[in-house]
Structure 1
């Protein structure tokens, strides 16, 4: 075997190892972060006791949103760290923070035990989780796309979202199992804590260990090896970088809003407002998430062939017309099989955007700014349009006295995002900057 062949095979082996451990670590981290949403109704009783169930749920979702407020700060810190010290370094620092925040939620006393200190401590833990998540997404997307072959960038980059969804699926499935097999009293007393404790004490350390085994991306190493004194600096201006960041946020709005409304908030909506058993709502949500994961990979592979814009335009247009009839359907006391089928369809649609846009974002920034740019755009969009999606949905119901009002939020998000998508320059078959 020639030296060149051995070099190529070695590079391919390092690439596969780096991709596998990054994807697995990302899935483990998202098990921790998503657990909060699936036990929202239980947490509402534990930390926000009130006679008004809707007010308690709004308070719980407000804390969920507060956790995502920390994402932009985490994206700035970890994005800069990823551009300066390496994507691997940033990913390794993010994991222990997530684990600590998750574990503390699992062992925290409730309102009946420590009073107002309980919701205050809950906010602090969510801030810690959100800070970690802000450093996770952008660096993972950047890491994956910089290891990708030129014609498979979307397929590689989408693994950040696919693995995150699989982690969320696992959390949703565990929540569904606990809700189905435990009595209501047991679930309220200690059952909801199980996933948080396991996530913080077991999953996070495993994820950190795996990330210690990965290699830095070739693109970053090449950038680092360039002589900053003698080399001619890149001409990418601050203005163009911020323009790309703003465009990415605008395009991401519908992706984030549709995901957090249909696949994060919906189980609580179905349980509270459609009066479905929580186990049924969680199992239906799990089916939607599984479909989303499959759709992510398929749509990414397709976009590597036909381009990013056609798929993004199609999905944004669909979310202008579909949310209102979907929420009408959810409230019609329909059969469980039809409910699951509708959630499967929604999961497929959300998955198309989640499969295509990670690569699209990464292709908008140069190597020296990619981790920071992607982290900031994704972190801001998630904090603004996703973190408060559940809160906005519940508040709209309370203000309008209409259970259909959450659909308006998704429709408006789609209307805003579509012009940004139409203005996008196709990047699928262009080299990375």
Structure 2
């Protein structure tokens, strides 16, 4: 019975991440096409900046979604929050496939696209972290990082599917056909994935919610767990910027800046994402044995030292070297990301775990990660140097290294789980649990 519930938790946690990351990757891959259809300014760089500005706007909604869905997850049920998230994501994503362009309805087109992106960002605010909470609380302690890594690996599966599907459609259609209507085909799977996610999550067992904070979850999180929030932000910065600069903005960089064919850029990114999936799972497996800090620290130092030469490979204009660079980036970013989810959970007690992880992750990936493509394009446009974005990534890696050195190992620290016998609802008990979780 326990094994069956574990399988259900893994499937339910993974499907939402597949949908979430599929959508965000498709938007990034289609940015040049969407820029032409929804933001026709007459200047490619300006249109692209506008398109990625809307991309960033979706991420800026993550903190709001984190507060709303976190409240539902910590006060009502984990299952309810996850069902709301997957439904909202499926509907808003599917609607983009039917959206008229600027040529048809004028200024209403970019406004409608922006609204749908904001709704997607709202749902994402509690989607990935909710899946992580679900998986982490269902996991045996000795396999917590491995279970949590399923949510992220599923996300990379979503990117992999998006990359592969985009490559397939690009190869199957002429450039004109793809630009005119073919891009809409890539949004068609979203409603189906949403239905699958809803069915899987509806069948999940409810989690006992007796352990509640006396304060609102967001208030308790900010007042009592500020150090945990800062630690997560510091560690996540390298993963966020690295991920979105290399694997989300990467195809646009390889196509528009470097000059590789779109199909080649997408194929290279697909290979990198496949390597990310393997590295994330492998890193989590090792972290369950030797600890979280050694894995994150090694990946962050690697990014700090190797980002510049690896970015030179991407900018070389040679497809083979670009693949090598992407594979190396996959190993470094995956080493950090594989066990980071477990660290997030282990820094918060059960009473505010959904809200705490969602707000910390949402703020970092919303403000830092979601704006990364926009920052990268703006840096290149302002400096005329295609290598300028790499310094942004190196700065994030340095911050990650310092943060990890100041963060205690969390692998063997107390991890409270739902129980009908415990009641840590008071502010004092919540604070005591938090201090235990983060080392005082």
TM-score relative to the length of structure 1: 0.92
C-alpha separation between the residues in 2 aligned to 1:259 and 1:361? 18
Match of 1:67 among 58, 83, 86: 58
Specify the alignment match of 2:367 in structure 1. 384
Matched, 1:182 2:173: yes
CA drift at 1:237:
8.2
Instruction: Give the match for residue 207 of structure 1.
Output: 197
The offset of 1:365, in angstroms, is 0.2
Contact 1:29 1:207 in 2 (8 A): no
CA deviation after TM superposition for structure 1 residue 331, in Å = 2.2
- 1:360 aligned residue (336, 340, 343): 343
Quote the offset at 1:239 in angstroms: 3.8
Give the Cα–Cα distance (whole angstroms) in 1 for the partners of residues 167 and 81 of structure 2. Answer: 33
Quote the Cα distance in structure 1 between the aligned partners of 2:314 and 2:274.
19
Specify whether residues 237 and 213 from structure 1 end up closer, same or farther in structure 2 by C-alpha distance, changes over 3 A only: closer
What secondary structure sits across from 1:192 in the alignment? helix
- Structure 1 position 228, deviation (Å): 9.0
- The Cα shift of 1:111 comes to 1.0
Matches of 2:378 and 2:298, distance apart in 1 = 29
2:237 equivalent to 1:247: no
> Which ranges of structure 1 fall in alignment gaps of 5 or more residues?
1-9, 230-235
Deviations 1:32-64 (Å, cap 9, x if unpaired)? 332211111111111111332111111111110
Q: Is the 8 A contact 2:213 2:351 kept in 1?
A: no
Distance 2:75 2:189 in 1: 33
Question: 2:254 — aligned with what?
Answer: 270
> Over residues 190-244 of structure 1, what are the superposed CA-to-partner deviations in whole Å (9 max), with x where a residue is unaligned?
1101121331x32212221221112234xxx1x52x6999xxxxxx886441221
Could you say what secondary structure the match of 1:65 adopts?
helix
The answer to whether the 8 A contact 2:313-2:321 is kept is: no
Q: How does 1:277-292 map to 2 (within 5 A)?
A: 277-292=261-276
Tell me, yes or no, if structure 1 residue 417 matches structure 2 residue 408: no
How far apart, in 1, do the equivalents of 2:212 and 2:392 lie? Answer: 49
Contact 1:178 1:191 in 2 (8 A): yes
1:296 aligns with 2:263: no
Structure 1 238/64 Cα, relative in aligned 2: closer, same or farther at 3 Å?
A: closer
Q: What are the equivalent positions in structure 2 for 1:390-401 lying under 5 Å apart? A: 390-401=373-384
What is the CA–CA distance in structure 1 between the aligned matches of 2:206 and 2:414, rounded to whole Å? 20
Counterpart contact for 2:346–2:410, Cα < 8 Å: yes
* In 1, Cα distance between equivalents of 2:269 and 2:202: 33
Q: 1:176/1:237 Cα in 2 relative to 1: closer, same or farther (>3 Å)?
A: closer
**Are 1:305 and 2:289 an aligned pair?**
yes
Count of matched residue pairs: 411
Asked if structure 2 preserves the Cα contact closer than 8 Å seen for 1:295 and 1:351, the reply is: yes
Higher mean C-alpha displacement, 49-58 vs 69-78: 49-58
Check the 8 A contact 2:74/2:212 in 1, yes or no. no
SS of equivalent residue, structure 2 residue 143 = helix
Q: Indicate if the aligned counterparts of 1:138 and 1:376 stay in contact, CA closer than 8 A.
A: no
* Residue of structure 1 aligned with 2:145, choices 139, 154, 165: 154
Corresponding position of 1:82: 73
Conserved in 1, the CA contact under 8 Å of 2:315 and 2:322? no
- Structure 2 counterparts to residues 9-408 of structure 1, below 5 A: 10-199=1-190, 201-217=191-207, 221=208, 223-224=209-210, 239-334=223-318, 336-408=319-391
Equivalent residue number for residue 232 of structure 1? none
Aligned to 1:4: none
> Cα RMSD over matched residues?
1.7
The normalised TM-score by structure 2 is: 0.90
1:332 to partner: Cα distance = 2.0
Q: Alpha carbons of 1:227 and 1:283: their partners in 2 closer, same or farther (altered >3 Å)?
A: closer
> Residues 86 and 197 of structure 2 are in contact (CA less than 8 Å); yes or no, is this contact kept in structure 1?
yes
More deviation in 147-156 or 313-322?
313-322
